[in-house]
Structure 1
Amino acid sequence: MGRSYFHLHLVSDSTGETLINVGRAAAAQYEGVSAIEHVYPLVRSGSQLERVISEIRAAPGLVLYTLVGGDLGQRLEMAARESGSPCLSVLQPVHDLLQSYLGTQKAARPGAQHMLNAEYFKRIDAMNFTLAHDDGNLPEDLEEADVILLGVSRTSKTPTSIYLANRGLKTTNLPLIPGVPVPAEIEAARKPLIVGLFASPERIIQIRQNRLSSLNADESSMYVDREAVSDEITASRRLFMRNRWPTIDVTRRSIEETAAAILDLHRDHRMKFIAE
């Protein structure tokens, strides 16, 4: 059975990130179906909306939107209905529930979640820290870090670190190299949450082979030898167990799932650290 496709129009008065995440999460539940995404960010004027409407008319499909100001939402819904495209305001049910619970009207502020507040600058600070201390570049004062990730090569340490930084956590990561001991500062660290990442040998070898192929490098090295990779992973897990560091198997986890698990661990770790 072949894969079927549909047009998915995502119309936002901000960056469109909310819509993209919602649309992809929903579409992923339907096997054999893929969305052709049309993303329209920063739609805040009538002329901008008219260009969006013309594209919807040219390729009818499903329309999701987050337009909080003026009558843009009503105009979009009318045009979508005329073109036979089902249309939904993704945030409206949430606004209705909040309004009912809080007993107050919402303020129409496009992109309000992206305001340059203290939380925003905390994320920027965390991102700068994380990029400066990637792949073994440990800070002089390791206690500045919120999270330290350890794992053999190709266990997704860097992308996970960047994702965590975007959530406001200063993250550093260290590759575990055969024959090279972990710096004593890490084993002595108290404030940071230390997490060990590991994956199956098959998964690690697959990723490493792809990496070597992209670099036109020799694929017969110990870097992708089945026995050598298994020994690396075993040694890393023994290290994690000896230090009683929490571990996460990333074999079948996405970066987002790994980061979510780490955020949960960090919440508990932070509470215990404060209580001490």
Structure 2
Amino acid sequence: MKKAQGVLASLVPVTCVTGGEIFCFSGKNPLEDKQHGCRILIYEDLAIAMDVFFAFYKGGTAVRKGPVIYALSDSIGETAELVARATASQFESGEIDIVRVPYISSIEQIENIFQAAAGQPALICHTIVSPDLRVALENLADKMSITTVDIMGPMIDSVQTVTGFIPKLKPGLIHQLDQEYFKRVEAIEFAVKYDDGKNPNGLLKADIVLIGVSRTSKTPLSMYLAHKRFKAANVPLVPEICPPPELFEMPSDRIVGLVLNPLKLNEIRAERLRIMGLAPGASYAAVDRIIEELSYARSVMNKIGCPIIDVSNKAIEETANSIIEIIRSKR
């Protein structure tokens, strides 16, 4: 990242994990950048200062004047960020930055975020469950006329009204180290161990086995399913290599075949070759070779009798949900 000029150059450099430099500061008072006509907020909390810096600066010197959504949480902030990103994806008129601020534990931290949002096209969404922090946030929102969205509050209140249950109002309960957590970890370890046809003996232990030619999203789907606590293995199908016999020994409803439009697969493989610095004319990305592979893969899938999903125009989440429905329908 290039060094910033003017006021930015006087700020403390912090080395990023990427090896570049960003410029922020650990202090108390806001500072006006006369050169760029924007406000740089300076915090004692360096982590927040870094987030704010990234929200407003691109490439070291360019001022970010576009809208920002601050996603706050008194836990890790994953839910708030996902909702913010899902919302931002609905707008094509311009880029919307998301600044995730987890582990909010004090009113002072909330005040810092409101300072960052003041005078900018920004809103604040949050999943804060602590009553004191929620009240402080609502009061600041009214005082500073900043739009806020309470993601968790209305849901908690509605469940309490319908059921009569009293909420615990403790942050981070969903991330406790409970049985479900350890099942997820076990499933992730399984997906890594039995990825790409490694150790076919493990196929019989899988909840689901994904088969298909190269670049049909077998590995990312296996990892996504693992996060949903399903033990997923995957096996590549190549005409020159016989599929492992275990595929024909296990129930066909625990196997899902993945196929892709040949032209789409051609684009994906050509890009893969480009990234790897290989010649674009390699047979790996040739349409004739792809058609041959897909034909062979379908013959194997038909022999097994497993369901087949065309992933050509599907997101990983959509395909994974289809696979999960297949798994659950057979249980």
**Superposition TM-score, scaled by structure 1 size:** 0.90
Paired with 1:88 and 1:109, the residues of 2 have a C-alpha distance of 19
Paired with 1:259 and 1:21, the residues of 2 have a C-alpha distance of 18
Paired with 1:140 and 1:175, the residues of 2 have a C-alpha distance of 15
Which of 56, 67, 71 is the equivalent residue of 1:6? 67
1:199-243 CA deviation, whole Å, 9 max, x = no partner? 111111111111111111122111011111112112212322232
Residues 1:266 and 2:314 aligned together: no
Tell me how many residue pairs correspond in the alignment: 267
Higher radius of gyration, 1 or 2: 2
Which of 278, 283, 300 is the equivalent residue of 1:239? 300
Closer, same or farther: CA 82–234 of 1 in aligned 2, 3 Å: farther
Considering Cα pairs closer than 8 Å and 6+ residues apart, tell me whether 1 or 2 has the greater RCO. Answer: 1
Summarize the alignment of residues 154-233 of structure 1 with structure 2, pairs less than 5 Å apart. 154-190=215-251, 193-233=254-294
Structure 1 residue 150: deviation in Å? 0.6
2:203 touches 2:247 (CA, 8 Å); kept in 1?
yes
Summarize the alignment of residues 247-262 of structure 1 with structure 2, pairs less than 5 Å apart. 247-262=308-323
1:157 touches 1:173 (CA, 8 Å); kept in 2?
yes
Which of 154, 160, 175 is the equivalent residue of 1:114? 175
| Paired position in structure 1 for 2:196 | 135
1:138 touches 1:172 (CA, 8 Å); kept in 2?
no
Paired with 2:190 and 2:253, the residues of 1 have a C-alpha distance of 14
2:213 touches 2:238 (CA, 8 Å); kept in 1?
yes
Structure 1 residue 141: deviation in Å? 4.1
Counterpart residue type for residue 72 of structure 1: L
| Paired position in structure 1 for 2:10 | none
1:60 touches 1:85 (CA, 8 Å); kept in 2?
no
Which of 123, 126, 136 is the equivalent residue of 1:65? 126
Paired with 1:56 and 1:150, the residues of 2 have a C-alpha distance of 48
| Paired position in structure 2 for 1:85 | 146
Which of 20, 35, 43 is the equivalent residue of 2:81? 20
Structure 1 residue 40: deviation in Å? 0.5
Unaligned residue ranges in structure 2 (runs of 5+): 1-64
